[in-house]
Amino acid sequence: MLQKVIIVQLLENFASKKGLMELGYPLAVTGLERIGEGKVREHTGDVLFPVEFSCITFKMSRGEILEGVVHNILRHGVLLRCDPVNLSHQMMSEYTYVPGENPIFMNEKMSRIEKRTVVRFMVLGTKYNEDEKELKAVVSLEGTNVLALEQNSGLTFKRAIDASLCLLLPQDMGKIWITPYHAFAFVAVSDSCHP
């Protein structure tokens, strides 16, 4: 019972946190290695347990080619859902911004990039924003062979974690984008923490 409560609490902590500089985004707990002795907090009555656990994290690396879903079109580029990724207009020089009620980017061959379009991109670099505790990436469509994949194409996506991380990963992605990690944390358990 305690293990279940601690795992639920860790997952809630993952959902409320943003990226970590060294690790990226924690996605799932793969195992509880050790639960230490709990200590009662004076003012709240919560019990604080030191916990050693293994987890899976997601972090982009320079040179990786990934896929993301367009969720916003701006004059200077598009925003993708695959970590907080910003794809600027300069990084997709073959495409021109077309304003309107539903703005899009279009190239000479009439290929369109609009909301919910799946695009393949290359990671040019990543940066950790200490103030926002967030990892950001600069990416390019150039050099990825297939620039805009068919809108809502046959790719099946699965949810990696709840909506607060806004992370969609291809179902067939394998292990290359996922890093196992061993971590240590303190987990507070209160009367309201029942699975």
Q: Provide the H-helix boundaries in the chain.
A: 2-16
pLDDT, one tens digit per residue, over 17-50 is: 666 777 777 777 888 888 888 888 888 888 888 8
Q: Which one is predicted more confidently, 177 or 83?
A: 83
Q: In this structure, how many other beta carbons lie within 10 angstroms of the beta carbon of residue 96? A: 12
* pLDDT value of residue 190: 55
* pLDDT value of residue 168: 31
pLDDT, one tens digit per residue, over 74-108 is: 888 887 777 555 555 557 778 888 999 999 988 88
Global pTM value? 0.59
* pLDDT value of residue 159: 27
Would you call 143 exposed, middle or buried from its count of C-beta atoms within 10 A (0-12, 13-18, 19+)? exposed
Residue 84: partners with Cβ closer than 8 Å, 6 or more residues away: 134, 135, 136, 137
Computed over every residue of the chain, the mean pLDDT equals 69
* pLDDT value of residue 96: 87
How sure is the predictor about 113, in pLDDT bands with cuts at 50, 70 and 90? confident
* pLDDT value of residue 152: 36
